[in-house]
Amino acid sequence: MTVGTYLQELHGLPVFDFPEADVQVELPATDAVAWRISAPTYSDPGDELWGQRFERFLKTVDTGRVRALVVGGWDEAYENSSADIVTALIGANDRLTALEAVFLGDMTGEDCEISWIIQSDVTPLLAAYPALREFGVRGGSQLAFPSVRHSGLETLVVETGGLPAEVVRGIAGSDLPALRKLELWLGTDEYGGDSTPEDLAPLLAGTAFPALRRLGLCDSVIQDAVAAAVAGAPVVARLERLDLSMGVLTDEGAAALLDGQPLTHLTHLDLSHHYLSEAMSERVRAALVPYGVTVDLSDAQVGEDDGDGDVWRYVAVAE
């Protein structure tokens, strides 16, 4: 995923923008698309606000056949939290009876920078939709995710420029027995990303999420420490795909990975947006590619010399 473009697909369905009130277009079959409901984040008087557009959506489509919803921008998302959006979605759970996937906050930087998006406690959505299989959220400001149980959720993606430690602990402490894919953008402390590898302990120990096969711990300013923790983590033995992309991964972190438990059982290892030397990149390839592991080492970074002997390195997504 990227924050530079809108979602094109959710839950295997192409995303279709529900049109503005004065736009006449032929609508697709209700269950053939993921419906994107979005309103201007910088709204003018007379603009249709998100809640109004959502109510019109509910009156327009066959709600009992809606399988996936993408929440785009909402009015002043940089000042107003997603709490009203969450409440509106919960209030429609008796009509959206086939809903299996939700993504909350599909905005680009032109709408609202990722670290400006004000979220809320999103876990009531999981309680309101027990049949939900996929859930994603973008934006970490005021995001809350206390530990929750959901028996059917298979995919959880949380994209932020800074993921608070309390949220990481809440997710890691949740009871999600069907979860197969978890992707967390940990970000930087400048934008609230104050978690440490210790906050991931239940996840890395393999005691949480017994069905997990795809793990992404991405966009971290402490990616070397994350990689070192992953290197000895019991959960890795049952993974098919491991994603440590978008962060400040250097030769130190890559060496820790290679010196830890075997990774040759993986089908894919994503280390894109990295700060590895060419020699270390070749070492990674040599250790894994002959075993059939697809290794992504694209988007190599070099860092910036500040003139005083220090090198500045950046995650892919922060503000």
Q: Quick one: pLDDT at residue 254?
A: 98
Q: Tens of pLDDT along 187-238?
A: 999 999 999 999 999 999 998 899 999 999 999 999 999 999 999 999 999 9
Half-sphere exposure of 63 (CA within 13 A, CB side): 15
Element (H, E) at 52: helix 50-60
pLDDT of amino acid 306: 67
CA distance readout (Å), 173 to 9, 147, 198, 201, 202: 29, 5, 12, 9, 7
**For residue 47, what pLDDT is reported?**
83
Instruction: Say what the pLDDT of residue 119 is.
Output: 98
Q: Report the pLDDT value the prediction gives residue 4, as an integer from 0 to 100.
A: 78
Taking CA atoms, 143 is separated from 88, 117, 155, 163, 178, in Å, by 17, 9, 18, 8, 23
Please give the pLDDT value at position 23.
84
Question: What are 50's strand-pairing partners?
Answer: none
Distance CA 184, CA 166 (A): 13
pLDDT at res. 309:
67
CB 183 within 8 A of CB 245: no
| Count of other CB atoms within 10 angstroms of residue 315 | 26
Q: pLDDT value at position 2?
A: 61
Report pLDDT for 45: 81
Please state, in angstroms and rounded to a whole number, the distance separating the CA atoms of residues 287 and 3. Answer: 32
Q: How far apart are CA 146 and CA 175, in angstroms?
A: 11
For residue 231, give the 3-state DSSP assignment.
helix
Radius of gyration of the chain from its Cα atoms, rounded to whole angstroms: 20
Q: What pLDDT, on the 0 to 100 scale, is given for residue 277? A: 96
DSSP state of 288: H
| Residue 120: other Cβ atoms inside 10 A | 21
What sign does the dihedral 208-211-213-218 (CA atoms) show?
Answer: negative
Rounded-to-integer distance, Cα 169 and Cα 147, Å: 8
The DSSP string of 177-230 is TT--EEEEEEE-GGGT----GGGGHHHHTT-S-TT--EEEEEEETTHHHHHHHH
Query: Low-confidence residues of the chain, pLDDT below 50?
Result: 1
Give the closest residue to 157 by CA, choosing from 235, 90, 74, 216: 216
Report pLDDT digits (tens) over 97-124.
Answer: 999 999 999 999 999 999 999 999 999 9
